[in-house]
Chain A
């Protein structure tokens, strides 16, 4: 385990070493690529002043709120698509058009509807993630063995209870795969919205630094976003392992 982590980190170490070397050897102008040490110093300063935690908290709050919205709407809808004809008839074409659409293009509309503060960004983030969630829940439900639902019914489950008792857990591996794709997507769109709209958050801070021609701040922002994204993805993988303890994949 520790060996694997070390192996992964070593790739970054090589990258960082190359970065620092490029600066020391004068291969690149410091404005285009500031020295690693300067960026590291800024990171430490951001952490010490609390600015990092503040911005990360704002970005994470909107990302997770939007992501939760996408789950609450997307999972039931995805399950219902293959189980209720009317829902399938209505939602399926919309999903197939919406899925490949660049969600961020809707940002002006959401700003118009929901203002320039948190709500528009949360809706934007949720919108960008919801199609992936719907598609995953739909695909997961389609593969459910009919004997499983029959077993539940002959043990006394009503048709409504089947969704919670059978469909949802049976589709869970695929739903989680969808969520693992949707979460970074939500984070990307959140940061992009912040960069377009300005204000607080990691993306807002970066675009602020850019406006002041503070290239060290821009690079520090990238590292901070990568850090937050990496932690979020790792926690999601952990949640998957916990929820799928029963699944054969857990044995490997």
Chain B
């Protein structure tokens, strides 16, 4: 059975009707374009086209929207649902611009045979680029429908109006449904850039908290996730890998393995090995037996020591990020500090999973990857198939927050299915495999030197950040585990940083504040001790933590309010507005100390200096004997441009805030010289119910008519910074190296 929340109308059914039966061609994307729509900012083509970035390679309207004779719209997006609610928000955008009720609109997400290739669903780009493209496409369709309706209603186009019900009405009250009009119309025409959009004052769907489409199924046990899919004849596989990356495992002989009861097939290619069974539990059981074999580290030892020790000893490439020099008054105060964060796990609650089936020379892969077109590229490359023989379909998985094992498991499943044609193969990684092998969020270090003059103006800002890659997303077989393991291995590519303005380790390293002197440098470490790739907000997390911590350290040294110091150095009106709105809602100006071990803190950033603005305020208390922090109140203010679904925005910001508190106070991948030693939820604890804030509120600033700005990653940096600032306020001790764990706090506070 297929997941119920993916769309029920299949393409065949859909095209079976009359209506808009048109050629559906999707030009292939060059890999340069694919990379541009990934974690980096698209470059666009400037003056040659005014179409939004995602529309440029797919300008034909029928690549995005079709309307059947019954007047129902089907919308196609290359973006995918990751639990962030994007499917619902995109459907709202389309419904608004088509001026139709949302229930008459359905949406098809990431499918290499059906949707435009919009690159990754990542980097908070989905609304900003995907939403903007879809919105214009829908506005074009509405205009075409209206134009075609005029002769049908025997009237002038100018007097016609859409009703919001999927009909077009003439001044005399007669009306015609979209279905009837669409049946006469081809949408295989190119989008125009200058089509009028619907205006906020008349919005019917956008700006409303439409309930999420996928929640009813998820709370009642429908087939909602790839993990739930069952295909006829489906086999269950488990990959056999050493406990962690960088290690190899000694396996018994093939004959011995093949004699194991319950085994259907043993698939091996070089260092890649997997067991396949009719019953899932047999696969798990056999996998466990095989894991009892000896494992050892392949290459040199993992360096140990502090994060700074480890990172600063590694070869780095230096990139200047920002250099500003102006004459200023003499400095009177000088502060310097080093901040750090450890390696983090994405920690998806459901380990990565994929299903693949090889049939008649064609491979189908169901995957929860953020880059479904890359899943196809990787598999085609790995198996030496042409891309048109590989069909990749996105199906939801557990929240991933970046590149977890999704792409690896998809390639694993493809390799296994390719060896066993005729039957679909389902592969789910085990919890310990996800912890041991997924790419991690990179450990990072920053060093800041800042000076104030006698008027409390910041006159010097020297900033250095060291980081391994935050983007090793695969676009071919050389980016996945299976590619490195097969006999004819695909050696991993040279890692390169994402250029500014998006940046990766450098993301948000250039302060948004107006500072007269800045010297910001990024030291990119191409090869860290662990595999690392994108995790929610990339390097912005530590960069914002560092900048916002230093602002508080400066304010403290100067004896002024941290908000005042920020506002004194901020000229962007929207940034100021977010800080002030948050402060007002929180009651920042009227806050009162409530005794020892109680305090307040704030943190601000505009994500990437391009996305949403977010300011977080926290009130905390600390129990010095245990080092436990209770967040009494958390209040976030955000400005993410035009808001499509306010509740969706609040859900994302609230979730990001809790996740950031978890990173900041609990999480760190532990390791020894041989391997990662975090392999479960006790060796990698995250926040539980008892630890989350007592109160959380999110204020979303209304920005009618402004462009969409992605919001999903906006609260990561500000929250961790606000926590460290609140902790310093509460205890007088400045903690600069995450995690600010109970143990670390207890040791430091017991002395006070």
Q: Are A and B co-members of a single complex?
A: no
Residues of chain A touching chain B, judged by Cβ–Cβ distance below 8 Å, are: none
